[in-house]
Each structure stands twice: as C-alpha cells, then as structure tokens.
Amino acid sequence: MVIGMRLPAFEDDSVRICSLPWSRIRFAPDLRDFDVLIVNHLEPLPPDLDGSAFRKSLNRAVPLGVLGAAGEIVILGDARGFIRVNEGKMLLLDWIGLDFEWETGTGDTLRLLPHELTVRFHEYLERVKNWSYSQTSVSLSSVARQQWHEALVGPLGADGAVRITPRLVPIATTRFGHGIASAIRLEVVQSSAGMDSIIGMSGWLVLLPSNDQAPDDAVTMLLEQVYGVRLLVSEPAWASALIAPAQPPLDAELASLRKRRDELNSEVSHVEEQRREVRSVLSVLYSIGPQLESGVRALLTALGAQIELPSEPNKEDGWASIATSTGALNAVLEIKGTQGNQFGESGIRQLSDWVTRGIKLKQARYKGIFIGNHAIDRPPNERPDPYSASWRTSAALHEFAAITTAQLLEAHQRILDGVLSRDDFWQSVFATNGVYRLP
C-alpha cells in the first residue's frame, strides 16, 4: 500500500499494489492487512488535509499489525512536522509509537554503511544529493513498550527477563555518523545468566530522505528495485528521441496549433491524442510480456494482417492471416521479449508446438513466425545480434521466419514512405526459413 500518492492499479498472481492520495485518506482500508506500507512525505501535505481522518487511518495499531507480522514500513521524505487535529496538533510520526531525536543541519556528504538494507535501497540512496536533517536516536515510550510486548511476546507480566528494545541501524550517515537514512526494528531480548539473546523481532521501519527524483518516480523505482514490482512500462529516455512512423506531420501540426491554444484548446487536445496513439507503436522496442504482445499485434494489423487472438492462455500469441496477390498467407505467432542480448531456443520449441497445434485445430499447416524484442535497455541501433548459431540453424530447419520488432517498425516506415509494398513485405517474410532480412 502506498499512502500519499495515486499510482496505476496493479495486481498479478503474487502481488497487489494499492495506493491512496492524501485527499482520500478517510477512505483508507485497514492498513494492518498489508505486508508493505510506503508513506509519501516527499512533498508537503495538502493544507486542507483531514487531520482526524489521518489519525484514524494511521494509528498505533498499524505498525503493530504490519511490523509485528514481519512486514515493512517505509517513510519517504521529511516527516518531522505536525498535523492539525481538531483544535490541536500531533506529530506526523506519532502513529509509529516511537520517540525520534533529530538534528538540523545541511550537507551533501553521504556515507553508505554496509548492511543488507543498504544493498536493497542502494539505487534510491545513490540519488540522495543533499540533506537538511539527521536522526540521532530513537526510544520507546512505556505505553508503546507495553503494546509492542503484547504484539511480539504476549501480555506483559512481572518477569522482566524479556524486554522490547528498539534497534536503530543507520544505513546512510553524515560524516559525524548521524543517520540520514536509517532503519529501526523492535527486538525481543531475553536475559539469562547475565547474557542477552534476541528471541524475536519485528519487521523493519525504514526512513529515507528525499532524493533527486520526482515523488512518483521515486516510489515507482522503489517498487521495482526493492520489491520487484514493475508497473506498466513507460517510454524510456532513449525512445523519446526516436521518430515514429507518421509522427513528423503531426508534430508540425501540433506546433502550429499550440500558437493558437487559447482559441483552439479542444483541437490541440485532439491532435495530442493522435500523437500518443502514433507513438504508442514504439512500445514494441522497450516492452516485454503482455504489453509487448499487444503492441506487436497492433503493429501487424497496421501492416495489413488480420489477427485472431489466442483462444487459450499460455498458448500461441495469435494467428495471422494476410491477403496477398498470390492468395492468403497464414501464420502462427510466438512473441518474445527479453532484457538479455539473445533469445533462448525455448521460443523455437514453443513455436513448433503452436504449428502442431494449428494442424490439429485448423487442419492446416501455418507458417511459424517468431517476433522478438531483445536488449530493451538499449536503442535498437546499439543492440547485438540476438540469434546464436544454433538458434539460426534450428529456425531454418523448422522453416520458421524470425523477425525483430525493430525490423517490423522499419518495414512499416518503408511502406508508409512508398518504397516497399505490403504485398512484397509479406511475401518475403513467408519465403524466409530462418532469420529474416528486409528486402
């Protein structure tokens, strides 16, 4: 759960991402039900924030429920301030149940300390360029101590052999050793024969300062780098320099319309939407998974193919039918995306299965076409050869055509420019047994 920001909804078989902006804090669900809670203080709270709803949603039971179940709470940004509640005010971190000591001071020197959390949050911490405060200590009040004892051990008895102790772990410090980024967990310490041993512990409470990213970018990076959740892939920086087919005339028209924006706002919005639709085709160069499959099918449709979607999950990625001057051409598709430099031969084995499946389902032998997108962290002109020698041999022996998404885009551009016909393009694809080359 991300509090203080709205993110795109995301859910798969293993994880669900929820978010709630501060303006809707009164609608917060029971936050104890989440394994990870990220609280955004990277930007000032809205001046009209409902303090009573804040206190009701973020209360002392939340850290007991999340951290007590070995979950994790991450506080992003400066949360040292107060929030108004009715006629009074309360500390922004009052709901945590810990007393924090801070030291005000500015600087730009950051020392990363060796710790597992430093490794996990390394990408975020590397982008912290300066700081204006540091944490010096943390303590546990008597009331909170009793609550934590009940959460981690059980009812507090007369025997003082078991106690709850907050452990402060700086993960990035000033040169004086004060915590710029730190983590805290509550440890159950048992004393016996003059020796202390840890017999239980809570999850981590992590406090991170702001870095040089916009708040939504910072949270998105944490979700991906720390928690392994990659939201819908947005266009990377290198793709913004590429020109999509049919984009230049729209760019020119858009520039003209912007000069008359006051009178033509509705027309500008219309052309901007057209431009987004045109540029969406570039997603085939940097996406993987379902996003890539959907983008490739849309591009094949633009190239004149009729696409039949797969009827069952985890099977072929679609059936293509193309009308040409010599008759109909039919193909079954395997679409693969990878961050690696080369495609694995599992794609060929799967495509072989789909060809066999076509014989059974459609009583015809469909041409196997493998469409791949590799090395997605680089522009197309910097990508290596995606096919190993054995891959090329196997594709040729199976009489499959292998084509990259970059080649599909280039073919689309050539067709739009009038230097290649759709008919010639598809005839050359179906004549290929192995790795495809544009005519």
Q: Where are the domains of the chain?
A: 2-225, 282-435
pLDDT of residue 158: 46
Average pLDDT over residues 277-301: 94
pLDDT of residue 342: 95
Decide yes or no: CATH 3.30.300.30 for domain 282-435.
Answer: no
pLDDT at 367 over 90: yes
Rounded CA-CA distance 293/283 in Å is 10
pLDDT of residue 159: 54
Helix (H/G/I), strand (E/B), else coil: 354: helix
Helix (H/G/I), strand (E/B), else coil: 140: strand
pLDDT at 336 over 90: yes
pLDDT of residue 147: 84
Question: Percent of the chain beyond pLDDT 90?
Answer: 62
Q: What is the mean pLDDT of the chain?
A: 90
Q: Which of 141, 139, 120, 3 is nearest to 66 (CA)?
A: 3
Average pLDDT over residues 181-196: 88
Higher-pLDDT residue of 261, 246: 246
pLDDT of residue 422: 96
pLDDT of residue 269: 80
Average pLDDT over residues 122-146: 88
Summarize pLDDT for 142-188 with one digit per residue, the tens. Answer: 778 888 888 888 765 545 578 888 999 999 998 888 889 999 999 98
Rounded CA-CA distance 170/150 in Å is 27
Burial 294-313 (b: 16+ CB within 10 A, else e): bbbbbbbebbbbeebeeeee
Of 186-200, 225-239, 311-325, highest mean pLDDT:
311-325
Burial 402-417 (b: 16+ CB within 10 A, else e): bbbbbbbbebbebbee
Average pLDDT over residues 283-288: 95
Average pLDDT over residues 59-69: 92
pLDDT of residue 143: 76
pLDDT at 424 over 90: yes
pLDDT at 265 over 80: no
pLDDT of residue 279: 93
Confidence of residue 308 (pLDDT cuts 50, 70, 90): very high
Rounded CA-CA distance 291/373 in Å is 12
The residues near 212 (Cβ < 8 Å, ≥ 6 apart) are 127, 128, 129
Average pLDDT over residues 253-266: 79
Confidence of residue 264 (pLDDT cuts 50, 70, 90): low
Question: Percent of the chain beyond pLDDT 70?
Answer: 98
Mean pLDDT is lowest, of 10-14, 175-179, 399-403, 410-414, for 10-14
Average pLDDT over residues 320-341: 95
> Kind and range of the H or E element at 223?
helix 215-225
**Beta carbons of 20 and 28 less than 8 angstroms apart:** yes
